[in-house]
Amino acid sequence: MNEAYCDVAIIGAGSAGLRAYKAARQHGARALLIEGARYGTTCASVGCMPSKLLIAAADAADVARTAGVFGIHTGNIQVDGTAVMQRVREERDRFTGNVVRMTRQIPSEDRLEGYARFENDTTIVVGDHTRVHTRSTVIATGSRAARLPLFDDLGDLVAVNDDVFSWQDLPDSVAVFGPGIIGLELGQALHRLGVRIRMFGIQNLIGPLTDPEVKKHAERIFGDEFLLDTDARVESLRREGSTVVVRFQEKSGRSDDSGPSEPRLLEEQYSVLLAATGRTPNTERLQLENTSLELDDHGIPLYDPATMQCGDSPIFIAGDATADVPLLHEAAAEGLIAGANAARYPAVQANTRHVPLSIVFTDPQIAMVGQPYHELPQEEIVIGELDWQSDPRARMMNTNQGLLRLYAEKSSGRLIGSEMIGPRAEHIAHQLAWALEQEMTVAQLLDLPYYHPVYEEGLRSALQSLAKQM
């Protein structure tokens, strides 16, 4: 066994680990970056980038398909599944290639390949070849798609996000389990690319939304476009030859709906089941039981989000491994904090975290900013809203679907959060996040310039509806 010595060991060369390495080096530490699988990051290889590439193709098909509303007739749309997947893979490989190149530019003496496991708080074994003695460590091991026991008998007919982006062609049909962020993004894209889909959810959850009014809009909009049941009663899943057979209660026949009281049982066959039912942090290989860390019920170390330190140990954590907010910009921010503090250890510093922001790249997009509805102190807030239905700019562009809800504090007039589904949500969410960071009041936001006719006038209407109540 080789012996290696460093100030900061970083486990995982993903988006969080790469930032942690950079921050540790900037703070003068001798850092060692350990990767068990391959360079390239989840975001570039099987996450953010290929998913948005698939959505871009789906959007192109949708623009062509819906152009008739403007009097533009494109004839029958033909989706060339092989060409769609080829572009997704090629562009994905370009993004991933850039990350791999950048990672390989890190001096080879600062990199180790192999899975890491702890012997104690300051000793890590990598593969079977190296024992690393370190002053501090950053766990940045990311997450993987959860596989529910429900899918066990389906074998290779179950696909997760990683599989989708290596498809050579589009499948004929997909049963999507989980109308969360991944399920909605990939499911809608596949539907728009001509794949027959049905989406099964539980507990009436849809995307990351918690505001019942916005959820209602989301459910109606997506339910009008493809088969969706956010409270599905799946009776069984089985494999028949090369198909998945889903046996479930028909939505319209359930006693909680207005239809007949005896629900009809349906059986449908799909070529693939897409499992999009959440992510599991990669912590089990780490042998955390050999450390002094306090773990939660799921085996994830408890940590302070201001410092990313686990208890008062020399171990820090960042990115999806925390099981907290699995988003790229959070992974990057946490990597920087964890890397810097691991280098400074034991003199760690607390950092202020940015306003929460998340965007779902469906059409229309969903976004969440600041405090979500379910965490609001209801007596102390007012809610303003805009239904995009009759917004002039949205009607003009045929994008007039969705609801924007803004939450403000009664006492201070400050905006504190928003949930939305609607056009250009990625931009409106950023404007709101920046306003929240500046602690702006509704009056201050209304006192800014608004052009005409633009989507921001819709935002102004929602702000005006807030102002009226204050």
Ligand X SMILES: Cc1cc2nc3c(=O)[nH]c(=O)nc-3n(C[C@H](O)[C@H](O)[C@H](O)COP(=O)(O)OP(=O)(O)OC[C@H]3O[C@@H](n4cnc5c(N)ncnc54)[C@H](O)[C@@H]3O)c2cc1C
Ligand Y SMILES: NC(=O)c1ccc[n+]([C@@H]2O[C@H](COP(=O)([O-])OP(=O)(O)OC[C@H]3O[C@@H](n4cnc5c(N)ncnc54)[C@H](O)[C@@H]3O)[C@@H](O)[C@H]2O)c1
319 interacts with ligand Y by CB under 6 A: no
Q: Which of 327, 343, 404, 459 binds ligand Y (CB under 6 A)?
A: 327
- In DSSP terms, which residues pair with 137 in a beta bridge? 9, 315
- DSSP-derived pairing of the beta strands 315-317 and 403-409: unpaired
Q: Which of 125, 182, 321, 425 binds ligand Y (CB under 6 A)?
A: 182
| Site of interaction with ligand X (CB under 6 A) | 11-17, 34-37, 41-43, 47-48, 51, 115-116, 140-142, 161, 182, 282, 285-286, 319-321, 326-329, 331
CA distance 78 to 60: 11
- Of 17 and 187, nearer to ligand X (C-beta) is 17
Lay out the site mask for ligand Y across 196-235 (x = CB under 6 A, - = otherwise): ----xxxx-x------------------------------
294 contact partners, CB below 8 Å, separation of at least 6: 301, 302, 310, 311
- Which tokens belong to 210? 């918690």
Check the CA dihedral 15-151-202-362 and report its sign: positive
54 assigned ligand-binding residue: no
319 assigned ligand-binding residue: no
Evaluate whether 25 touches 152 at the Cβ level (below 8 Å). no
* Residue 205 binding target from ligand Y, ligand X, none, CB below 5 to 8 Å by type: ligand Y
Point out the catalytic residue in the list 298, 354, 430, 452: 452
Closest-approach residue to ligand Y (CB)? 180
Interacting span for ligand Y (CB under 6 A) from 245-253, 289-297, 305-313, 357-365: 357-365
- In DSSP terms, which residues pair with 8 in a beta bridge? 31, 136
Closest-approach residue to ligand X (CB)? 14
142 assigned ligand-binding residue: yes
279 interacts with ligand Y by CB under 6 A: yes
* Residue 157 binding target from ligand X, ligand Y, none, CB below 5 to 8 Å by type: none
* Residue 319 binding target from ligand X, ligand Y, none, CB below 5 to 8 Å by type: ligand X
180 interacts with ligand Y by CB under 6 A: yes
148 interacts with ligand Y by CB under 6 A: yes
237 contact partners, CB below 8 Å, separation of at least 6: 150, 151, 153, 154, 244, 245, 246, 247, 273
Which of 279, 219, 162 minimizes the C-alpha distance to 402?
Answer: 219
281 interacts with ligand Y by CB under 6 A: no
CA 251 to chain centre: 27
Cβ 443 to ligand X, closest distance in Å?
32
* Residue 180 binding target from ligand Y, ligand X, none, CB below 5 to 8 Å by type: ligand Y
364 assigned ligand-binding residue: no
Q: Which of 183, 187, 417, 423 binds ligand Y (CB under 6 A)?
A: 183
3-class secondary structure, 466: helix
Long-range contacts of 20-23 (CB under 8 A, 24+ apart): 20/138, 20/140, 20/316, 20/318, 20/335, 20/336, 20/338, 20/339, 20/342, 21/106, 21/110, 21/339, 22/336, 22/339, 23/335, 23/336, 23/337, 23/338, 23/339, 23/340, 23/343
CA distance 154 to 218: 30
183 assigned ligand-binding residue: yes
- Of 358 and 400, nearer to ligand Y (C-beta) is 358
422 interacts with ligand Y by CB under 6 A: no
465 interacts with ligand Y by CB under 6 A: no
CA distance 10 to 456: 43
Cβ 268 to ligand Y, closest distance in Å?
15
Annotate 348-359 with b (16+ C-beta within 10 A) or e (fewer).
Answer: beebeeebbbbb
Interacting span for ligand Y (CB under 6 A) from 97-105, 311-319, 335-343, 359-367: 359-367
52 assigned ligand-binding residue: yes
Which of 204, 194, 172, 207 minimizes the C-alpha distance to 364?
Answer: 207
3-class secondary structure, 205: coil
Residue entry with tokens 């819906």:
66
179 assigned ligand-binding residue: yes
Q: Which of 42, 188, 307, 358 binds ligand Y (CB under 6 A)?
A: 358
Evaluate whether 249 touches 265 at the Cβ level (below 8 Å). yes
Catalytic residue check, 452 = yes
Which of 321, 302, 322, 320 minimizes the C-alpha distance to 312?
Answer: 302
Catalytic residues: 452
Q: Name the binding residues for FAD.
A: 52, 141-143, 320
Under the rule (CB under 6 A), what is the footprint of ligand Y? 148, 150, 177-183, 185, 200-203, 205, 276-279, 326-327, 358-361
Annotated binding site for NAD(+): 178-185, 278
Binding-site residue set: 52, 141-143, 178-185, 278, 320
